[in-house]
Structure 1
Amino acid sequence: MGYEGRWMVGVGGEFSVGGGMIEIYVLTEEQGMGIEVFDREVDCIGWLHSERER
């Protein structure tokens, strides 16, 4: 089972990339994760807050 690229993540198995942000909705978690990148370095990793992100 692979991950599918989407404009906005919402269910397990989806990811999106844009604007220095990678969002991944991991299959084993109830909420998504966000990875903020700057150039070639990871700047911040954290849980997405669905109320604020949408």
Structure 2
Amino acid sequence: MYGWIWRHLPGGTASRTVLSLVLVAAVVALLLFVVFPWVEPRLPFNDVTVD
């Protein structure tokens, strides 16, 4: 999969490297600001009961 992405990025090695870093940053931002906040209320880690 990473090879497929690398082959389809335009430009030379330097621009591909910069574009791949931008893609990684975009995926991390999407996870941090959209996916994780959506999933967090659905996780059972805060449901602690002591009898």
Using structure 1 for the length normalisation, give the TM-score. Answer: 0.19
Q: Which fold has the larger relative contact order, with Cα–Cα distance below 8 Å and residues 6 or more apart in sequence?
A: 1
Using structure 2 for the length normalisation, give the TM-score. Answer: 0.20
Which of these two proteins has the greater Rg computed from alpha carbons? 2
